Chains A and B, each alone.
Chain A
Amino acid sequence: MFSSYFKLAIKVLGRHRFFTFISLFGISFTLMILMVTTSFLETELGSHPPLTEKDRMVLLPRLIMKSLVTDTTWTVDTTMLDGQPAYDSTFTVGKQRQNSYSSSSLSYSFLDRYMRDIPGAEAHSFFCSDTQFDIFINGKKLNFKTLYSDATYWEIFNFNFLAGRSFQPSEVERQVQVAVLSRKAAVDYFGTTEQVVGRSIEMDGRQLEVIGIVEQPSNSKDYVTSEVYLPLTLMSGSALTETGFHGPFAAVFLAESPQARSTIVESIRQKADRIPLPNPEDYNKLELMPATVIGLYAYYMMPVQDDPEGALQMFTLVAIGLMLLFILLPTLNLINLNISRAMERSAEIGVRKAFGAHSGSILAQLVFENVVLTFLGGILGWLFALALIYLVNDSQVLGDTQLQFNTAVFLYSLLICLVFGILSGLLPAYRMSKLHIVNAIKFNNL
């Protein structure tokens, strides 16, 4: 039965080329945009190396100090009491008001002192992704972003090593002059990734031995993307001994399971209340901002202050809203077109009904035809999407982010096609299937 429906669908498509073109144009373009968007979200938020354990991670990128003051209003009443003036003063405590505010990444000494034993955390790592170096080689300037970390960093983030290894705890402790390079950095500096391990790179006025090369993360998260990875003990100056709370560091904690993340988030928040502030006259309230990987992503996209969870809710809402609005218009358009086109076939439907076809099977046939059309459009859209992804990656419009088209995205796309096809086919098909036989046959004037 479906094969005859299929043949019919193809025949109908060939009949009015112009209508078919309009429909296919709308479908393929809509699906292309949806596929590229899915691919973008999947690249940014999927579990790709080095973030394979992203659902177990809690990041601590920010520390906030506030000074909260309460407005107090004094009222003094003067009355005459026994010929003497008497004063009666009352005061009202107003709302708490934020006087000053300071938000930044954290210092190593703060993390070292307070964030070592967080309940629920299997592992933790402190790192600083704030430094850049200009290196001149053969008259060319290379700007290398440098990430300083401890050795557990490599256990939490699963980098894809092209060659060599990461640095060990003992190497961090002994300040061994070693470096892990990204593939791009190795190519920029040495011209190749072959046999680079063991050679040395000159940076920050010293010779560092290259011990490993890692594949570039496909997305642009500042806590994993870097050109050079160094042991944090190689940081210059007083970066590790500075006693203030603000500094260039961030922390990451690994929970036992995705559910256990909330324990970590809670304990970090609670801990903030118990830490005495170094300068209570300036700031009297300390807040820590723990965030999940996705929460932090939304936090950077949305104008929400210090609240990654709120930002994530807003992000989801905005994304779904935009998606719906975006799908709505082509769907309406397609419904409109489909109704017109289906009218044209009222005679055929009338005859089928006259020979005993149920409304249901008419409905199924028309929806099926629409799904076939959508899948045709889907294939076109898929080709367009591949081309667009290639262009986006090639032009580096998104910076370091390299969009991927993998099985997950493909399956999402199939689903999108199906939903779109059924959605835009249902109403016209329903209307046609309800047509009276007499009317249907009578209107056969085309």
Chain B
Amino acid sequence: MIRHIFQLVWNKKRSNALLFLEIFFAFAILFLVLTWVTRNLRLFSTPLGFETENTWIVHLDFYDAEDTLAASATKVRLREELLALPQIEAASYGGDVSPFSGSIWSTNNDNNGFMIQTHLVFADEHYKDAARLKLVQGRWFDETDRDARYKPVVISKKLYDESFEGRNLQDSVYTIDGENKIVGVVDHYKYHGDFSPEYNVTFFYEPSSAIDMPNLHLLLAPGTPVAFEEEVNRIVTDVTGKSDFTIEHLQKSRDQAARSVWVPMISMLSICGFLVLNVALGLFGVLWYNISKRRAEVGLRRTLGASRTEVSLQFVGEIMIVSLLALLLGAVFAVQLPLMGVLEGEIEAFDYYVAMGVGAAFIIGLVLLCTFYPSQEAGRLQPAIVLHEE
């Protein structure tokens, strides 16, 4: 049976070649787009690790302060004054690298005898509460860290797993950026957005009063009205005497960062959907036409005792073989990407294989769907009628 179908396919190789090409390219496009989508969804599935709801960041700037001591005192006073308001639950100063800003500060070294690659984030002792970070080991910074002999750091679980698994954190000093003592591990900190890869992160301690900690994170009580922002704005202006600051709503920035991935992803998927629909309709049309040309053949087979299902199966089988061959060729090309590690680090082998599987399954399903109706029709042809036509 299979051999017969191969023979039939081969006999019509010219028209099948086009079909073959069409399915091959449909698979190629689907594979590429789905790889990208799988990657994004995989990244999206890990939690962000910090609070964005009801969080504002006041972007201040104290770098041009002439009297740094006075500026430090102002910073501390501003925090205390804002914290006194019932609407504000927590307040913390952070460094220039703030979430969703796109800034990166990274370092790498092998001074400890093993490789450490990490991003640097600066935080004070209140940041854990303001961002609702979750610690899986040790503790967050506290007052005592101010005079610590070795600069205390908190690392993310990803960095821990990658470089510190099984090592002693309690009594050791590691070189990350200077000599550091690791005091705690947080579970996640995906500060570039929901769709960003999770980077290794190390939090470095800086006290709230430091001049290079310009961004004030505020955690608001749930249900705080938007109008409250004007009050915060007034207090900041009064205390600091500045007006060139902005208040960022962290949730909005998060949504915006995510939207910059959602929008192209959805438009790519809909373009892809259209292409596939186009192919499906074309397949349907061509098949229908081919069957109507081969009515006599169907009639003959039926008179010689073939059942309806056998006739239907023959047509489905012909298209299926062409499609499977095209998919096979597509898969041979596609599998090169994970094997050669194209874009390693950005896209994992897992993404490629999922995309290949889903893409192939989708195309097979589509082909089955498109061949189903015309081949059923073919099975239903009455031998007496079609042979009479001939």
Contact = CB atoms under 8 A, between A and B. Distances in A.
Interface of A: 18-19, 22, 25-26, 29-30, 33, 131-134, 136, 139, 141, 143, 203-205, 236-239, 325-326, 328-330, 332-337, 339-341, 343-344, 397, 445-446
Contacts of A337: 282, 285-286
Contacts of B246: 132-134, 143
Interface residues of B, number: 39
A329 B18 contact: no
A136 B243 contact: no
B90 to A, nearest CB: 22
Given A340-B285, A340-B289, A329 B229 contact: no
Given A326-B271, A328-B25, A339 B244 contact: no
Interface string B305-317: 0000000000000
A133 B243 contact: yes
A333 B64 contact: no
Contacts, number: 98
Contact of B18 (A30, A131, A139, A339): A339
Contacts of A25: 278, 281
B26 interface: yes
Interface string B278-303: 11011011100110110000000000
A340 B275 contact: no
Contacts of B282: 22, 26, 333-334, 336-337
A402 to B, nearest CB: 16
B83 interface: no
A330 to B, nearest CB: 6
B183 interface: no
Interface of B: 15, 18-19, 21-22, 25-26, 28-29, 63-64, 226-227, 229-230, 233, 237, 243-247, 263, 271, 274-275, 278-279, 281-282, 284-286, 289-290, 292-293, 389-390
A40 to B, nearest CB: 11
A408 to B, nearest CB: 23
B233 A329 contact: no
A236 B64 CA distance: 9
Chain B interface mostly:
helix
A144 B332 CA distance: 53
A26 B289 contact: no
Nearest to B268: A322
Given A29-B274, A325-B25, A19 B285 contact: yes
A143 B281 CA distance: 49
B64 A237 contact: yes
B179 to A, nearest CB: 19
A239 B244 CA distance: 13
B271 to A, nearest CB: 6
B329 to A, nearest CB: 15
Given A33-B271, A333-B279, A133 B244 contact: yes
Which 5 pairs between the two chains have the least Cβ-Cβ distance? A237-B64, A333-B282, A340-B289, A205-B243, A332-B22
Contacts of A143: 246
Nearest to A241: B64
25 contacts: A22-B284, A26-B278, A26-B281, A30-B278, A33-B271, A132-B246, A133-B243, A133-B246, A134-B233, A134-B246, A136-B230, A203-B243, A205-B237, A205-B243, A325-B28, A328-B25, A329-B22, A329-B26, A332-B18, A333-B279, A334-B282, A339-B15, A340-B289, A343-B289, A397-B263
Nearest to B58: A134
Contacts of A18: 285
A188 to B, nearest CB: 16
A329 B25 contact: yes
For A33, A340, A397, the residue with the greatest tally of chain B CB atoms inside 10 Å of its CB is: A340
A47 B263 CA distance: 26
Contacts of A332: 18, 21-22, 25
Given A237-B64, A329-B275, A329-B279, A136 B233 contact: yes
B182 to A, nearest CB: 23
Contacts of B390: 445
A41 to B, nearest CB: 15
Contacts of A139: 227, 230
A141 B281 contact: no
A336 B18 contact: yes
B304 to A, nearest CB: 21
A335 B389 CA distance: 29
Contact of A204 (B19, B244, B274, B292): B244
B286 A336 contact: yes
For B15, B64, B229, B243, the residue with the greatest tally of chain A CB atoms inside 10 Å of its CB is: B243
B164 to A, nearest CB: 24
Contacts of B279: 329, 333
A344 B281 CA distance: 19
A237 B240 CA distance: 14
Nearest to A330: B278
A335 B271 CA distance: 20
Given A134-B245, A143-B246, A239-B64, 20 more contacts: A22-B285, A25-B281, A26-B282, A29-B274, A30-B278, A33-B274, A132-B246, A133-B244, A134-B246, A141-B229, A203-B243, A237-B64, A330-B278, A332-B18, A333-B282, A335-B18, A337-B286, A339-B15, A341-B289, A343-B293
A337 B63 CA distance: 68
Contacts of A335: 18
A71 to B, nearest CB: 13
Nearest to A202: B243
